[in-house]
Structure 1
Amino acid sequence: MADVIQINDMTWRIEDGGVRFFLLAGKEKALLIDSGMNTPNAKEIGESTTKLPIMLLNTHADPDHISGNGSFESFYMSPDEDENYRAHGGTGSILPVKDNEIIDLGNRTLKIITIPGHTPGSIAVLDINNRVLIGGDSIQDGNIFMFKERRNMSRYIESLKKLLLYRDEFDAIYPSHGSFPVGPELITKLIEGAEQTIAGRAEGKIVDVFGTTVMLYKFPYAGFLCDLPENMK
């Protein structure tokens, strides 16, 4: 069963096993950011927490972030994530969001920042007044999935560097996995680790992830789960 933990009067995190998602309330509306891994009742969880009308936005469409999407006829998502979403059985209509788009919940403005790499349509959400960045899977101190189709490490690095341009606009990062919260300094560390990994300078070990053999490049601050090098397949 998911645990609902209040962060402040208008913000909650929902812990769903190894993944978390968020509920943000404004004066007029509330927004679920993702809908969990084992929570087809994500909308009901939101409705039991606030009386405001609830919308949904997905940071990306991996299966552990969309289990409750079926309760919504439409939801916000990057259009670049459509293929990934449908590949995982996603239903409903995507309300496309673009870079720097603003979603206003009523005296609470959220800015969309596109950060492709982990998936083609990954996004981050900047909670402007609260100075918080909600980063999905891309910024965390756990092991970041970068294997199989639709992952792109080079674009991931570019996206992290893009987030540094917003560095003066947030004080904390709310990740979907790992420790909560994490500090903005983690972005620079992830860039360094990803660059070492893509350049072949990082030491990896073979691990099994849900029946797939991958290479884990582990750093003191996080890890990257990547496809096996060609000479090891």
Structure 2
Amino acid sequence: MDQRTVAVADQLGKVYGTGQAAVTALGGVSAQFRRGEFTAVMGPSGSGKSTFMHCLAGLDTPTSGRAWIGGVDLSSLTEAKLTRLRREKIGFVFQSFNLLPTLTAWENIVLPLSLAGKRPDQAWTKQVIDAVGLADRLSHRPAELSGGQQQRVACARALISRPEIIVADEPTGNLDSRSGAQILGLLQMCARQWGQTVVMVTHDPIAAGYADRVLFLADGRLVDEMAQPTADRVLDRMRRFDAQAVR
């Protein structure tokens, strides 16, 4: 593992159920994620892409294989230490925003630091707030914000602790195309300007076109990889998945 490698998946597998009722959601997927790299994970519905991300980020426990974040083997951690690692080393952005409705935008953004008993770094916080364009909305609660603004709050929250990696699960799934493009541009900027490692699950070829590379999963396995993707190239590859499924 070189110094630029931030996260590693080594033969990650996940089986739900036992015996004849067992379902293999993930069948041994390996990948490495480097600093300053924006990776999209794609595949047909049920391909295992969300399961892969959850196992990589310590949200779910793999049945087999291991995952490392920042050189730490997640399988070696107690639940308390795993919770701390997720809070301090991983920034999460979900499709449903996952903001606390009783907190203001500012309180939601700094929540990971508050839970860790840390104060915000003023210079870094200003950079993040400026990047997401929310300086005039910080006192508003989520219900007073548009979907795009809520997702920008979620992105700021993911960035505030300067994590090793940002994982985004369908971050544009609930947004209109304009708001979605703002979020994708922000994630791209995080990788290119701030050297942030970003891993995004998406079903959208346009979203994948913002990434530096795309990993394609099918039936719980890694079946292809594409560097310097474009929306058209990704769409063509996804159509071939559909054609193979029909045969």
Report if TM-score (shorter chain) is over 0.5.
no
Give the structure with the higher percent strand.
1
Per the normalisation by structure 2, the TM-score is 0.32
The structure with the larger Rg is 2
Q: Greater RCO between the two (CA within 8 Å, min separation 6)?
A: 2
Per the normalisation by structure 1, the TM-score is 0.34
